[in-house]
Structure formats: C-alpha cells, structure tokens
C-alpha cells in the first residue's frame, strides 16, 4: 500500500517527538553516569554536561570500600527477594478468587478492597499496629506494611478474567480438578506475562523503598541500601572519607560520591529489566482488547 505525503509527514513528526522523548528520558541517566566517572573537581564545579570529564573512578573506590554499602546491599537483596515473593503470592491468591464467577459476594469483597485504595488508617495507627505486632526494627516491618497493592490485585484479576477463558476452568472442574489445582496448573502457567510484570513492579518498589525503614527501623546494621544512600546523599555522612584530605577535597568527593552511589544502587534493576521486558507489551495492555 502506497503511503501518502501527509502520512509521511505525520509519521516524521511522530518519530521526531519519540526521539525527543527518548533523549529527554535518557539524559538524566547519562548525566548521572558521566558524573560518576568524572573527577570530583569537575563534578563539584559543574563542568560535566554530557560525557565524563577527566575520567576518574575515585568515588567508586570510596563506595566499594564502605562496609555500609555492602551491608545495605545484602539487606536490600534479602528484603526485596522475600518481599517480592510474599507480595506476588498474596496478590495472585487474592485476585484469582475475585476473578471467579462462582464466588459469593464477589462484588462486595471487591468494593471492600477498592475502598482501601482511597482511605487508610494513617501513619500513627499503622505504627501502633506494627508495634503491637512486635515487628519493629525487623525485616517484617520493612516488608509487611505495604506487601499488598490493591491496584495490582485489580490488574491481575482483570488479566485472568479477559485473557483466560472461564470455560477452561469449568472444563477442569468437570474433570475433578480442585480450586487449588486449577490455580496452580492452569491459571499460573497462562498468567506468566502478568506474573512477570507484577514481580518486577514489586521488586522495584522494594528495592527503592526507604520510608518503612526510616519509620520502623532503628538499627544501622538492618538498614536497606536506600537508607545507607540517604545518609550519604542527604546527611553527607561519609565515615570512610580520607582524613588526610582537605575540607575542600572532601566536599568535592562528597558531590561525586552522590552520583556513584546512585549508579551502584540502580545497576541491578537495569540488568533485570531486559529479561522481563518481553512480557511488558502483553502484560500492560491487559484488558485493552477482548474478543
């Protein structure tokens, strides 16, 4: 089919906007990486615009020599792994029954879920609940308060309803399959795209989270990576600074250290994304088409 001149112009304008959008999106990441590999002096005086200037890895050496970074990394990996598994499990076990037509009171249960998206008890009641559960200053205080997202439950329920025909479940029931059997043998294998998407959403959420640790944790050795970075980025807490450096040199190093710390905390997520990206189109377009 021959493309008209107007169509070509329209496609050119759209491509131009897309390229501009990509550049706007990528520039902050490129800038941070460039600053992290530039000399502290260049970063401090704002001489880095796009590419690294006076290539240096001093800030990375300082980051990796700091025991708090490694301890924070280990804590975050544990919290993220356990939290993602719990969140995905709870989300799917909540969404599957709500997707079944034979669930009594399904609409009322769904309404109860949705209300929690708009109204909550607030910070103080939540803190009192966590305290009464005796999980303050533990891994569970970081994971449990936000382990279930109602929005994700709604998305999963919609996916199961639209992408997996209910006739398949009815056929399995006629063959004697139990509800758990249908969930494990039929729903989960057919819901891999949305399973991957939800796992990534929860994983990124836990990896970047620091608020629960800030509110419910008091032991430095239990802090996740983001809390350690907070100490470096906001409080300028640089215990591993070389005492032989002058005050000006330490100030320059602190500025460079901010960017290298951000890169160190972001790299794991950047490596995970390509393995899950193939599920994004199918998972995120859930419910857009039916039939």
Domain positions in the chain are: 79-202
Q: In the prediction, which pLDDT does 291 show?
A: 39
Tell me what the pLDDT averaged over the chain comes to.
Answer: 82
Provide the whole-model pTM. 0.79
> Which CATH superfamily groups domain 79-202?
MetI-like (1.10.3720.10)
Task: List pLDDT tens digits, range 41-79.
Answer: 888 777 888 888 888 888 788 777 778 888 888 999 999
C-alpha torsion sign, points 158, 160, 162, 163: positive
Contact 20, 44 (CB under 8 A): no
**Three-state SS string across 9-78, please?**
HHHHHHHHHHHHHHHHHHHHHHHHHHHHCCCHHHHHCCCCCCCCCCCCCHHHHHHHHCHHHHHHHHHHHH
Choose the most confident range, by mean pLDDT, from 46-55, 112-121, 148-157, 244-253.
Answer: 148-157
Q: What tens digit of pLDDT does each residue of 15-43 get?
A: 999 999 988 888 888 888 888 888 888 88
Residues in Cβ contact with 122 at an 8 Å cutoff, skipping those fewer than 6 apart: none
Report d(CA 244, CA 170) in Å as an integer: 74
- Give the whole-angstrom CA distance, residue 160 versus residue 150: 15
Note the pLDDT of residue 172. 82
Q: Which residues contact 250 (CB under 8 A, 6 or more apart)?
A: 238, 241, 242
φ and ψ at residue 161, rounded to 5 degrees: -70, -40
Q: Which of 61-70, 115-124, 145-154, 202-211 has the lowest mean pLDDT?
A: 61-70
């Amino acid at each position: 089919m021959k493309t008209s001149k107007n169509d070509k112009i329209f496609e050119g304008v759209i491509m131009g906007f897309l390229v501009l959008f990509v550049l706007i999106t990528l520039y902050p990441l490129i800038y941070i990486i460039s600053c992290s590999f530039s000399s502290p002096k260049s970063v401090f005086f704002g001489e880095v615009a796009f590419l690294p200037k006076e290539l240096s890895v001093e800030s990375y050496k300082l980051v990796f020599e700091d025991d708090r970074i490694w301890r924070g990394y280990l804590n975050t990996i544990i919290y993220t792994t356990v939290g993602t598994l719990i969140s995905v499990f709870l989300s799917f076990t909540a969404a599957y029954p709500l997707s079944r037509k034979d669930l009594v009171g399904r609409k009322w249960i769904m309404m109860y879920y949705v209300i929690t998206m708009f109204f909550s008890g607030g910070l103080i009641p939540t803190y009192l609940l966590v305290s009464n559960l005796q999980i303050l200053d533990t891994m569970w205080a970081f994971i449990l308060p936000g382990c279930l997202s109602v929005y994700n439950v709604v998305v999963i329920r919609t996916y199961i309803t639209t992408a997996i025909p209910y006739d398949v479940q009815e056929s399995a029931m006629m063959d004697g399959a139990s509800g758990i059997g249908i969930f494990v043998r039929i729903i989960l294998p057919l819901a891999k795209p949305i399973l991957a998407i939800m796992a990534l959403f929860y994983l990124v959420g836990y990896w970047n989270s620091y608020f629960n640790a800030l509110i419910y944790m008091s032991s430095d050795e239990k802090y996740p990576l983001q809390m350690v970075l907070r100490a470096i980025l906001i409080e300028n807490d640089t215990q591993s600074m070389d005492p032989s450096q002058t005050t000006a040199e330490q100030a320059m190093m602190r500025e460079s250290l901010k960017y290298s710390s951000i890169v160190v905390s972001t790299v794991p997520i950047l490596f995970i994304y390509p393995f899950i990206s193939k599920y994004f189109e199918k998972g995120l377009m859930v419910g857009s088409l039916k039939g």
